[in-house]
Amino acid sequence: MVETIVRGGTTGDRPGSNYDPAAVEARWLARWAEDRLYHVDDATDRPNWFALTMYPYPSGILHMGHWYAFSIPDAFARYKRMRGYNVMFPMGFDAFGLPAENAAIRNNIHPAIWTEDNIATMRIQFQAMGTMIDWDRQVASCDPEFYRWNQWFFLRMLERGLAYRSNGAVWWCPNDQTVLANEQVLDGNVCERCGSEVIRRDLEQWYLRITDYAEELLREAEHLDWPDRVKTMQRNWIGRSEGARLRFALAGGQAGDEPLEVFTTHPETVWGATFMVLAPEHPAVVTLTSAERRTEIDAYVERAKNETEIERASLDESRPKTGVFTGGHAVNPVTGELIPVWIADYVLMGYGTGAIMAVPAHDARDFAFARAHGLPVRPVIQPDGADPLDGGSMPGPYLGPGTMVNSGPIDGLRMPDQMAAVLDWVECNGRGHREVTYRLRDWLISRQRYWGTPIPVIYCQDCGIVPVPDADLPVILPLDAEFTPTGQSPLVSNEAFVSVPCPACGGPGRRETDTMDTFVDSSWYWYRYTSPHLDIAPFDAALVAAWTPVNLYCGGIEHAILHLLYARFWTKVMRDLRLIDHGEPFLRLRNQGMILSAEGTKMSKSRGSQVGPDELVSAHGADALRLHLMYLGPWDQGGPWNDRGITGMERFIRRAYQVVEDGAKVTPTADADRGGEAAIRRLTHQTIAKVTADMEAYQVNTMVAALIEFANALFAGRRGEVAATAAWREAVETLVLLMAPSTPFVAEEMWSMLGNTDSVHTRDWPEANQDFLRVTEVEIVVQVNGKVRDRVVAEPGADEAAAVTLAMASDRVRTAVAGKAPKRVVYVPGKLVNLVV
């Protein structure tokens, strides 16, 4: 695409030899601070644009992953600013959490001090990266002026029944000595924070009722401009299943016994239900178990309790289906048959009702269980055109479509097409009702750790759970705590914190000592950027209305479920509290890929495989590093780190710098045709179009390629005749403007070299002018039978006949055609002609 302009001479000097990255960066950092260039006003005559990037944990130092995650969104934000928006690109710190405690224990330094020091360091590093962050808006979640609003939200949820305390089996990390949310348990049994194996414990804990929003979270995700894989992951995590709840009465005539309820997605197969299976923890197990089975059942329940979770982590489908008969029976609600009730660990208490009707003929797990324990198999769905299925001899379950058999009134119905008729029958005959079940569990937010938001409730012997009155917020996290993990919150031993009068009756009360999951902080932090120091509400409603929902949210794919699901839930709760008017926080989401070590493994502090940006910045400059990260490959793909290419980025910057330096010396003459002007103008506007399109699509690698091509062409022609024209001047200015989002420091320097006294970052983005894109001739590819044989030059509007004539004038084409008449001609105007002979 690059046309040869005019070849200039060479000097032998290194291009851009006057460019000193360190000096340029220092100069403009000082100047920008002085001019408050990145201060964001809430109301301007421009539309607001909220560019958000997931706030980092203040781990102490910015590594390459941070540069990848922040410098590229910074370029997007700068681009939007040049496109005429009033852009807010704020930053904060996810400052509560375990690493601070662990560092505190290791280094004998208080988490608050450690965190504060790290934030100070990282702020400076962020500035060195050349970001347009407005630091006046910084928030830190460990700041009482922030976390008091966590407490305030919690109280609002408590009032609405969205926060509740419940006893049950929870995930416990023995290393971190705290409970975890379901979402924080990876691979079935691994702690998301520390990688230890987690275990099950029975504890009373605080939950947030995210399941109330399951349907809405599922439904509204469809319309978001988010990567499909994130939406898919959320959909699977929420895990919606449609089916029916059926009631199975207990046999034995105990009148007071509640029937067993099951959830099934296949109610049509109830005629084939030949036994039932309960989860070992199911409350009915005790009453169902007959005296002679008791010992065996108790042993199984005990074993399941201790082993299941660990075993389940390594299980596969071939794992033997163990289980024990309770000695009790239930009544199949449609056949009236007595069917045995078993317990087995393949039935989970946490899903559905913790009990299933087993239909071995049409379910893989039930089939394996039936064969292992000699239970009857009764087919009720007959595949088309096959011999009748036989329960005794069928080699495996039949899972496909077919016609109902052995099923009384629903015999002959087609499955799955006529499922609705089955559900109608079930409901009309009082056997059960339609039901939708979700895999999503409520969000467990209690943590038995120190460095987090205190949960604002007080326990009173007489009044029970009493919320801390709003007027008493924040409940300050005391700094004088002994925070070594013991399995109990470190606050338990802090008598001054714990012992308080009951707000209701004034009697002796004890404060809740657990703290909140840090995902609470990150569920609403971005709203706080709009009014970071407001002390009468979590945020200013008018400012939030002016800035949110977020226009573009950038961050790592690892938050696809955890943070992004919680944040959506919190937003919907805030909407229902009438604090905001929208239910989805992030209109558009883009994920960066992960930067891996050179070996392709995850970079980690412990393995020492993290790469620091400092040496590269001092050797090549922050701008070169920013470009290098953009140029590594598609941003959403990430990939193994290497620093080999950064020299090329520095070369590019130096050439651009040289072009500007030379260009600044020339006074453009009035337009006169010097032979290269039309070409340089076309290239300028082609580049504008390409860079703009790539920026809109977040394709920064190809955007940089276009900048390099443009700079190379200008470099080659910089000392030729054309360099004295107005077209040239426009080209040079355009190059600087197009580079501004990506290389903010050197672009600013070059802009001032061109005699400007304002900041390039406040300038308007150039616009591609169609008039300059017009070409005088086009190259048409000539194919014979689909193989390229030649290229011919034609007029831009050449029709098929003209193209064929030109094509046939070529010797190579004539040789390939070998005198035969074309059977068919395919012509793509201005691009390609294919002669089929």
Partner RNA sequence: GCGGACGUGGCGGAAUGGCAGACGCAGCGGUCUUAAACACCGCAGAGGCGACUCGUGCGGGUUCGAAUCCCGCCGUCCGUACCA
Binders in 202-231 for RNA, by CB under 7 A: 228-229
Of the two residues 515 and 734, which places its CB atom closer to RNA in the complex?
734
For residues 210 and 145, give the distance between their C-alpha atoms in angstroms, rounded to a whole number.
Answer: 26
The binding track of 559-598 with respect to RNA, each residue x by CB under 7 A or -, is --x-------------------------------------
Of the two residues 254 and 785, which places its CB atom closer to RNA in the complex?
785
| Token pair belonging to 710 | 């443009």
| Token pair belonging to 191 | 């702690």
Of the two residues 133 and 653, which places its CB atom closer to RNA in the complex?
653
How many residues touch RNA under the rule CB under 7 A: the total is 95
Of the two residues 365 and 729, which places its CB atom closer to RNA in the complex?
365
Is 818 near RNA (CB under 7 A)?
Answer: no
Strand residues in 623-729 grouped as ranges (E): 639-640
Of the two residues 457 and 627, which places its CB atom closer to RNA in the complex?
627
Instruction: Name the nearest CA neighbour of 738 among 615, 656, 633, 821.
Output: 656
Least CB distance to RNA at residue 686 (A): 12
Return the residue of 406, 610, 699, 756 that touches RNA, per CB under 7 A.
Answer: 699
Is 495 near RNA (CB under 7 A)?
Answer: no
Least CB distance to RNA at residue 113 (A): 34
Would you give the end-to-end CA distance of the chain in angstroms? Answer: 32
For residues 149 and 453, give the distance between their C-alpha atoms in angstroms, rounded to a whole number.
Answer: 10
Paired with 53 in beta bridges are 554
Is 719 near RNA (CB under 7 A)?
Answer: no
Return the residue of 121, 127, 175, 241 that touches RNA, per CB under 7 A.
Answer: 241
Is 354 near RNA (CB under 7 A)?
Answer: yes
Of the two residues 488 and 610, which places its CB atom closer to RNA in the complex?
610
Give the range of 117-125, 132-140, 671-679, 705-713 binding RNA by CB under 7 A: 705-713
Cβ proximity of 417 and 381 under 8 Å: no
Sites for RNA among residues 402-441 (CB under 7 A): 437, 439
Return the residue of 61, 194, 394, 557 that touches RNA, per CB under 7 A.
Answer: 557
Cβ proximity of 796 and 775 under 8 Å: yes
Sites for RNA among residues 279-338 (CB under 7 A): 279, 311-312, 315-317, 319, 321
Is 631 near RNA (CB under 7 A)?
Answer: yes
Give the range of 86-94, 114-122, 342-350, 760-768 binding RNA by CB under 7 A: 342-350
Least CB distance to RNA at residue 92 (A): 26
| CB-count burial class (<10 Å; 0-12, 13-18, 19+) for 404 | buried
**Three-state secondary structure call for residue 763:** coil
| CB-count burial class (<10 Å; 0-12, 13-18, 19+) for 236 | exposed
Is 199 near RNA (CB under 7 A)?
Answer: no
For residues 803 and 797, give the distance between their C-alpha atoms in angstroms, rounded to a whole number.
Answer: 10
Paired with 606 in beta bridges are none
Least CB distance to RNA at residue 123 (A): 31
Q: Where are the alpha helices (DSSP H) in 402-456?
A: 419-428
Return the residue of 701, 729, 808, 829 that touches RNA, per CB under 7 A.
Answer: 701
The binding track of 10-39 with respect to RNA, each residue x by CB under 7 A or -, is x-xxxx------------------------
Is 716 near RNA (CB under 7 A)?
Answer: yes
Sites for RNA among residues 640-669 (CB under 7 A): 640, 642, 644-645, 647-649, 651-652, 655
Return the residue of 84, 195, 239, 464 that touches RNA, per CB under 7 A.
Answer: 239
Is 243 near RNA (CB under 7 A)?
Answer: yes
Least CB distance to RNA at residue 538 (A): 30
Sites for RNA among residues 356-385 (CB under 7 A): 356, 363, 365
Residue 345 φ then ψ, to 5°: -80, -5
For residues 21 and 622, give the distance between their C-alpha atoms in angstroms, rounded to a whole number.
Answer: 8
Instruction: Name the nearest CA neighbour of 569 among 286, 217, 313, 167.
Output: 217
Is 346 near RNA (CB under 7 A)?
Answer: yes
Cβ proximity of 407 and 380 under 8 Å: yes
Is 232 near RNA (CB under 7 A)?
Answer: yes
Return the residue of 184, 353, 522, 734 that touches RNA, per CB under 7 A.
Answer: 353
Of the two residues 298 and 709, which places its CB atom closer to RNA in the complex?
709
Question: Cα–Cα distances in Å, from 801 out to 196, 795, 796, 834, 835?
Answer: 73, 12, 14, 12, 12
Q: What is the DSSP string of 172-188?
A: EETTTTEEE-GGGEETT
Least CB distance to RNA at residue 182 (A): 8
The binding track of 57-96 with respect to RNA, each residue x by CB under 7 A or -, is ----------------------------------------
CB-based contacts of 650-653 (< 8 A; 24+ apart in sequence): 650/620, 650/621, 650/624, 651/15, 652/627, 652/707, 652/708, 652/711, 653/16, 653/19, 653/621, 653/623, 653/624, 653/627, 653/743, 653/746
Sites for RNA among residues 773-792 (CB under 7 A): 779, 781, 783, 785-789, 791
Give the range of 5-13, 134-142, 330-338, 674-682 binding RNA by CB under 7 A: 5-13
Cβ proximity of 130 and 71 under 8 Å: yes
When computed from its CA atoms, the radius of gyration of the chain, rounded to whole angstroms, is 34
Angle at CA 570, nearest 5°, toward 585 and 533?
80
For residues 383 and 144, give the distance between their C-alpha atoms in angstroms, rounded to a whole number.
Answer: 65
Cβ proximity of 454 and 491 under 8 Å: yes
Of the two residues 520 and 706, which places its CB atom closer to RNA in the complex?
706
Is 637 near RNA (CB under 7 A)?
Answer: yes
Give the range of 349-357, 399-407, 413-421, 760-768 binding RNA by CB under 7 A: 349-357
Least CB distance to RNA at residue 345 (A): 5
Residue 283 φ then ψ, to 5°: -60, -25
Least CB distance to RNA at residue 740 (A): 19
Is 264 near RNA (CB under 7 A)?
Answer: yes
Is 639 near RNA (CB under 7 A)?
Answer: yes
Q: Is the dihedral of CA 130, 134, 135, 138 positive or negative?
A: negative
Least CB distance to RNA at residue 457 (A): 31
Of the two residues 233 and 534, which places its CB atom closer to RNA in the complex?
233
Least CB distance to RNA at residue 783 (A): 6
Give the range of 484-492, 542-550, 568-576, 823-831 binding RNA by CB under 7 A: 823-831
Give the range of 118-126, 257-265, 374-382, 448-456 binding RNA by CB under 7 A: 257-265
What's the length of the chain? 837
Of the two residues 70 and 652, which places its CB atom closer to RNA in the complex?
652
Is 263 near RNA (CB under 7 A)?
Answer: yes
For residues 2 and 429, give the distance between their C-alpha atoms in angstroms, rounded to a whole number.
Answer: 77
Cβ proximity of 707 and 700 under 8 Å: no
Strand residues in 7-98 grouped as ranges (E): 48-53, 86-88, 92-93
Sites for RNA among residues 89-108 (CB under 7 A): none
Look up tokens 């042993």; give the residue.
299
Of the two residues 159 and 215, which places its CB atom closer to RNA in the complex?
215
Question: Cα–Cα distances in Å, from 593 out to 12, 555, 612, 629?
Answer: 41, 9, 18, 11
| CB-count burial class (<10 Å; 0-12, 13-18, 19+) for 613 | buried
Of the two residues 563 and 651, which places its CB atom closer to RNA in the complex?
651
Least CB distance to RNA at residue 20 (A): 14
In eight-state DSSP terms, residue 394 is -
